[in-house]
A and B are shown apart, each in its own frame.
Chain A
Amino acid sequence: MELCESVQRGLQQLADPSVFITSCYRELLEVSYRSLLSSQADPGVLDQAELKQVEQIVLKQSHTAATTFILEAVKLNADKSTISSCLEELTFSAERIDIFYEAHQKHKKELERLLASIGRCPPHINDVSWRLQYHVKNNQVDKVNEPFYCIALNTENEGSPEDINFTCTVEQLQDLVGKLKDAAKCVEKASQM
């Protein structure tokens, strides 16, 4: 895990027992997790009674560094050894590393969900209903005799169901099914790299 200068300095301040005593350290970690996971921005999140002992600028720098480090650790899905080696290099004591790792494990799933909610995703297809039509004749041609499929894809887009309707001929439907099979094979190949 690579960290930039300001984050390293902020974390070193966090590791320093003369600047942050253990209870302040714990409180700051909790505050950092809360500020990331809460649904509303809270400008007063650092105004806790416990944290008043620490100087404001140092507090803000450490808060920035802690939030950045937490997000990077979740982004890289870092395991315990990576996190501990990273924090050890920044002069964290073993006890503080344990406290950090406990808090990290507690909130990891929610943070993963938070990170996974960034991005775009086309709607998911849940169900398909189809209807086969048969065109017998029309006003220009006496014998048409062509089957058509009317397909309705029940999709779900961000929680709300939507329907995508379309009609296609037999060949187009075969093409679609063929492309779906190609896509499935692609995914399987990607999983076997």
Chain B
Amino acid sequence: MEEVDKILIHALKQVGTEVSEETGSVRQFSSELIVEAVVRCVRVIDPGLGGALPTSLPPGMSARFRVGMSLAQACQDIGYKGEIGYQTFLYSNEPEIRSLLMFLVEKLPRESAEASDQPQGKSAVLQRAIAAAIRAQLSVPWLPPNCRLPLHSQTQSPGALHSFHVQPLSLAHCSPGKKPLKEVKDYHRDILPPVTAQPSHHASVVASILEQHTAELSAAQEWDSEWNSQGLLSRLKPQEYRSRKLTRLRKRIEEQLRSAALPSPESASGGPRPTGDLSELLQAFRGSAPSDHTLTKGSHFTHTQKFTFTKTEPSTSIPFVHQSDSDVQLRQQEEQLSLQEQQLCSEVDQLTADMKHMTVTHAQVLDELKQRELGNSEKEEKMQVKKKTIDLLPDSDDNLQKLKALVEASAKRVVHLASQWEKHRAPLIDEHRRLKEICSRQDLESSQKLSEIKSVHDKIRVSTEEAKKKEETYKQLVTELENLPQDASRSAYTQRILEIVSNIKKQKEEITKILSDTKDLQKEINSLTGKLDRTFAVTDELVFKDAKKDESVRKSYKYLAALHENCNQLIQTIEYTGTILREIRDLEEQIETENGSKTVANLERILSDYKAIRQENSALAAKVREG
């Protein structure tokens, strides 16, 4: 029973009852303590019911009685099924109190384990760290400046602050793969100052180092993500991919700058409009309008920027323009100059139009010239051929024969060459086909391998993330476990519970064994009594038959009957003894339980309270009579 009491006391302490350290068991609870514990539990379970109940017993007897009754009523309202009344609180006994307290403690709402539902993740961890830091700072009390210790100097009296100013640093390392020039190496070795001495303000050293590191880290991460997504698909080596990207970006920049620098056609003055804002230029790069940063979470306070009572400023009056002579003159000059400008512009336009016309005609003339030259050369060729034939005419027959022989010979040669060419062509075509097949197969394989690589990358990423997350949760849970209060050790209770369960199992086995033994015994008894009856009946008959004739048989019959009677009586006595023993055991148990409830003490208390009530009543009656 000790563990149950310990759990009860622990739970009552959590509710707020002040239980001193010496009370180890419910037996030692006094009436006041019981009332306080019960009222606090009722208040937690049902604030409406418990709000009206006082936590301590009032001194007057009738008031105590009333409080007891209301408490009992409240407990019954909550759902306690046992017998309860004012006597449970005023004249308590141990088992009733224990069962009531156990019922109430079970009814207490469970403190839900909310801590485990908190979202994990880096931002949540960071927010929790921020909240803890703010809490720590809030717990330090504010002191006026003359009393401040160095402990407060960080939050309450900050020293000189520098803004976050970054200066570029030159590092002594070079990326692997590129061999540095000898001069650069010498510079790095001999002249380059160490990193902390490079910025011109010593206050910006920290900022510059942190910025440099973060820039490098984020550049590496961006390159990784880009390479994994697009670079692998393009199947180029990293350097080629990078150089291609560089040329692409350069072209794009040139285009954008050129289009932004062109004069817009609609300006009336004709001069180039000043190039738009840098932000508009960058917008055009990105190709989409920048999204307005909507204000995300923040309280009403962080969103208000003005006091409710700011005075509205009077709108500035329109400036009063004075017409002065100098202004008029300037304006006239302006108009003249603009007219001139317009004229010049129109002349320029005309001249450019003329120039274009000229270039077009020039190109046309060049084309014609080329065509004529081509015609000339053709005609020259034809003339040459005709000249040759005319030379050959006088010796016509021989020349004709020679020409025919020539023609035949050349035809034969052509055929011969064609066959040779065929011989060469076939294997070459086969080779070509084979190489094409190999090429396409390799393409397939490489794309398969790419997809495999991608999936492996993904798996790696997922598993590293999971490992990191699990480590984080492990660390968090370890810290939370350390922070949990260590009052009631759960392992002891679970051990006891398991022991009790095994004990109960053993006892159940024993009980079943005993039950079966009892059944067997009962069966034996039944069979034996049956046998006895039958044997007696048979013997009785036999002896009775003979008893009529013989005197000794009659005597033996009488003895038999007496024996039967006595044995029956013996058996009855034994049974009676057994029942009486059982009754004795029951009565002893009852005596023990009754001894546990301190009836005698309670009776005395009841008597004294009764006397007190009678006195109060008489006093009240006297008062009523007087007044």
Task: Please give, as numbers and ranges, the residues of chain A lying within 8 Å of B302 by CB-CB distance.
Answer: 186
A45 near B301 with CB under 8 A, answer: no
The answer to whether residues A172 and B307 also contact, given A36-B206, A124-B158, A158-B161 and a CB cut-off of 8 A, is yes
Question: Which residues of chain A from 104 to 144 have a CB within 8 Å of any chain B CB?
Answer: 113-121, 124, 126-127
Indicate the size class of the contact surface on chain B.
35 or more
B144 near A35 with CB under 8 A, answer: no
Cβ of A6 under 8 Å from chain B: yes
The answer to whether residues A41 and B173 also contact, given A124-B158, A182-B301, A191-B131 and a CB cut-off of 8 A, is no
Cβ of B320 under 8 Å from chain A: no
A71 near B161 with CB under 8 A, answer: no
- In the assembled complex, the Cα of A72 lies from the Cα of B205 at a distance in Å of 13
Indicate the size class of the contact surface on chain A.
35 or more
Cβ of A91 under 8 Å from chain B: no
From A19-27, A56-64, A95-103, A145-153, give the one contacting chain B: A56-64
Question: Which residues of chain B from 170 to 223 have a CB within 8 Å of any chain A CB?
Answer: 171-173, 185, 188-190, 192-197, 199, 202, 205-207, 209-210, 212-213, 216-217, 220
Question: Which residues of chain A from 46 to 81 have a CB within 8 Å of any chain B CB?
Answer: 46, 55-57, 60-61, 63-64, 67-68, 71-72, 75, 77
Q: Which residue of B lies closest to A154 (CB)?
A: B145
- In the assembled complex, the Cα of A46 lies from the Cα of B157 at a distance in Å of 35
- In the assembled complex, the Cα of A158 lies from the Cα of B161 at a distance in Å of 7
Q: Which residue of B lies closest to A193 (CB)?
A: B131
A67 near B195 with CB under 8 A, answer: yes
Other-chain contact of B301, A2, A60, A119, A186 (Cβ < 8 Å): A186
B192 near A60 with CB under 8 A, answer: yes
- In the assembled complex, the Cα of A142 lies from the Cα of B101 at a distance in Å of 75
Q: Which residue of A lies closest to B216 (CB)?
A: A4
A115 near B196 with CB under 8 A, answer: no
Q: Which residue of A lies closest to B475 (CB)?
A: A81
Task: Please give, as numbers and ranges, the residues of chain A lying within 8 Å of B130 by CB-CB distance.
Answer: 190, 193
Task: Please give, as numbers and ranges, the residues of chain A lying within 8 Å of B172 by CB-CB distance.
Answer: 57, 60-61, 64
Task: Please give, as numbers and ranges, the residues of chain A lying within 8 Å of B144 by CB-CB distance.
Answer: 126-127
Most buried by A among B145, B212, B299, B301: B301
Cβ of B135 under 8 Å from chain A: yes
The answer to whether residues A57 and B156 also contact, given A35-B197, A46-B194, A120-B163 and a CB cut-off of 8 A, is no
Cβ of B595 under 8 Å from chain A: no
B145 near A156 with CB under 8 A, answer: yes
Task: Please give, as numbers and ranges, the residues of chain A lying within 8 Å of B171 by CB-CB distance.
Answer: 6, 61, 64
Cβ of B377 under 8 Å from chain A: no
User: A122: shortest Cβ distance to chain B, in Å?
Assistant: 10
Binary interface encoding of chain B residues 298-325 relative to chain A, with 1 for a CB under 8 A from any of its CBs, else 0 = 0111101001110000000000000000
Cβ of B154 under 8 Å from chain A: yes
- In the assembled complex, the Cα of A113 lies from the Cα of B155 at a distance in Å of 11
- In the assembled complex, the Cα of A114 lies from the Cα of B129 at a distance in Å of 20
A5 near B138 with CB under 8 A, answer: no
Q: Which residue of B lies closest to A32 (CB)?
A: B196
Cβ of B128 under 8 Å from chain A: yes
- In the assembled complex, the Cα of A43 lies from the Cα of B220 at a distance in Å of 30
Cβ of A89 under 8 Å from chain B: no
Other-chain contact of B220, A5, A56, A114 (Cβ < 8 Å): A5
A45 near B161 with CB under 8 A, answer: no
The answer to whether residues A41 and B161 also contact, given A72-B213, A126-B145 and a CB cut-off of 8 A, is no
Cβ of B258 under 8 Å from chain A: no
The answer to whether residues A118 and B197 also contact, given A61-B173, A68-B209, A188-B138 and a CB cut-off of 8 A, is no
Binary interface encoding of chain B residues 123-148 relative to chain A, with 1 for a CB under 8 A from any of its CBs, else 0 = 00001111100110010000011000
Cβ of B265 under 8 Å from chain A: no
B196 near A36 with CB under 8 A, answer: yes
Task: Please give, as numbers and ranges, the residues of chain B lying within 8 Å of A3 by CB-CB distance.
Answer: 213, 217
Task: Please give, as numbers and ranges, the residues of chain B lying within 8 Å of A186 by CB-CB distance.
Answer: 299, 301-302
Task: Please give, as numbers and ranges, the residues of chain B lying within 8 Å of A77 by CB-CB distance.
Answer: 129
Q: Which residue of B lies closest to A31 (CB)?
A: B194
- In the assembled complex, the Cα of A191 lies from the Cα of B473 at a distance in Å of 21
Task: Please give, as numbers and ranges, the residues of chain B lying within 8 Å of A41 by CB-CB distance.
Answer: 196-197, 199, 202, 205
- In the assembled complex, the Cα of A67 lies from the Cα of B194 at a distance in Å of 11
Other-chain contact of A117, B160, B188, B195 (Cβ < 8 Å): B160
- In the assembled complex, the Cα of A175 lies from the Cα of B611 at a distance in Å of 65
Other-chain contact of A4, B128, B156, B213 (Cβ < 8 Å): B213
B307 near A63 with CB under 8 A, answer: no
Task: Please give, as numbers and ranges, the residues of chain B lying within 8 Å of A183 by CB-CB distance.
Answer: 301
Task: Please give, as numbers and ranges, the residues of chain A lying within 8 Å of B206 by CB-CB distance.
Answer: 36, 71, 114-115, 118
Other-chain contact of A190, B131, B145, B173 (Cβ < 8 Å): B131
The answer to whether residues A39 and B202 also contact, given A121-B158, A172-B309 and a CB cut-off of 8 A, is yes
Cβ of B159 under 8 Å from chain A: yes
The 5 closest A-B pairs by CB, nearest first: A35-B196, A60-B172, A191-B134, A4-B216, A43-B197
Binding site for A on B (CB under 8 A): 127-131, 134-135, 138, 144-145, 154, 156-164, 171-173, 185, 188-190, 192-197, 199, 202, 205-207, 209-210, 212-213, 216-217, 220, 299-302, 304, 307-309
26 contacting pairs across A/B (C-beta < 8 A): A4-B217, A5-B216, A10-B173, A36-B206, A42-B197, A43-B193, A45-B196, A56-B188, A57-B189, A60-B195, A64-B171, A64-B194, A67-B209, A71-B206, A124-B157, A124-B158, A127-B144, A156-B157, A159-B157, A159-B160, A172-B309, A185-B301, A186-B299, A189-B299, A192-B135, A193-B130
> Apart from A42-B196, A118-B163, A172-B307, what are 9 other A-B pairs with CB-CB below 8 Å?
A4-B220, A36-B205, A41-B202, A46-B194, A71-B206, A72-B210, A156-B157, A158-B161, A159-B160
